[in-house]
Structure 1
């Protein structure tokens, strides 16, 4: 974090992803430089850290006071717990930033901490984000030893007790990697976890594990969207014109007589054509959701294979083609109106 290039990358990441809150882990900034570095990192933002428990400031959290406010409830060597409020929406949630210790013995206080706050936050939406430095399942790692020892069970047992689950996500399956070739190791040790109340109140939310940039860990983002009940604007899709009944449907709708002045006749006929095309979309392209699901799975598989061999131009091209197919089908799916 003392590197100006890394600071510039963080500013760029926040701007591109339009973030209102961010957590930074293992900053390696001495405590006496915290104020000077944080004040210039993203101007106008507020910051807190856990220097009281870690002399190198292993956890920083920052937020844009124009959009949200954050009140810390508890700060320790491995976690910062607090309440995040969205200024304009009147909504709030509990948010915890986690950076776990490297040894099994030192990790255990965090497991107890999460279970403790699961009781306190059980009636509030709760988001837990960070580097847990632990895997939940044998499939969470590739490379090196595949032995599963009893200590590994402590993490999934903690999640079960705290009733925390992974937020649905897109992007990279493995969040940390090192070395290359036969010595390459990959792990899913960074997670975005939520409780049941989060899934009830913020069902329109999604995590994204992005490609590593200046770190050997994947940066993670969370988007929280409120469902929109407004009718979507009409969109015309070229693939409708390939249907054998397209011209007849449009012709029939347009030729139907309408009484009134010319402008009223025009508007009425346009509405009738739109209604008939929407019906055609539902009737003739009703399997589009299945195709989208298949394309999404194909894209995830392509991303996973590419992670295992980042230098492969063939896999890169396959991932690009899978992405194109998915985007095309997804745009078609968006044409459905209910």
Structure 2
């Protein structure tokens, strides 16, 4: 593994550096403690990876990533979304802003993590009893369909 992310760490910032250094010896790291006291997102990477932060919030970290052997750049967004529909609206807005930024045009972009929302009703065990889509799922689908180039209709 050359780089990765830990989500929902629930570790106070004072202990984070010690833990990261003991588990990921000689790796570099980036966290989002300045946006959340629990440091919800930790990124780690080896020396063979060049990682440049682009954007951080309490729900996501986006960075430019290049493997030093190829120098091909791509973007990664690591997400740990908030629990409520209202709190996630900022996440959807931030992702849409990323998509429309010239920096991202023509570049590969991976988005991964815990969205705290399902994308399709069939993913929920009670969907057949209540087939109405909740607002949070509608917001996620709208973001995925129109801004992240995901074709939900083909599923």
Same fold (TM over 0.5): yes
Structure 1 segment 217-256 matched on structure 2, within 5 A = none
RMSD: 1.7
- 2:20 counterpart residue number: 38
Determine which of 125, 131, 154 is the counterpart of 1:142.
Answer: 125
What SS class does the counterpart of residue 142 from structure 1 fall into?
coil
More strand by share: 2
Question: What's the secondary structure of 2:52's corresponding residue?
Answer: strand
Structure 2 matches for 1:285-300, cutoff 5 A? none
Unaligned runs of 5+ in 1: 1-18, 167-338
1:76 aligns with 2:61: no
4+ aligned runs moved over 4 Å, structure 1: 143-146
CA shift for structure 1 position 143: 4.8
| Superposed counterparts of 1:97-176, under 5 Å | 97-120=78-101, 121-143=104-126, 146-147=129-130, 148-151=132-135, 152-165=137-150
Aligned with 2:11: secondary structure? Answer: coil
Helix, strand or coil: the match of 2:33?
A: coil
For 1:171-182, list aligned pairs within 5 A: none
Q: Which has more radius of gyration?
A: 1
The DSSP-based 3-state class of the residue aligned with 1:165 is coil
Task: Give the paired residue count.
Answer: 147
Deviations 1:101-120 (A, max 9, x none): 00000000000000000112
If each structure's helix is expressed as a fraction of its own residues, which one has the higher value?
1
After superposition, the C-alpha distances for 1:166-188 in whole angstroms (9 at most, x for unaligned) are: 9xxxxxxxxxxxxxxxxxxxxxx
The corresponding residue for 2:8 is 26
Shift of 1:161: 2.0
Q: Give the conservation status (yes or no) of the 8 Å contact 1:134–1:155.
A: yes
In structure 2, runs of 5+ residues without a counterpart are none
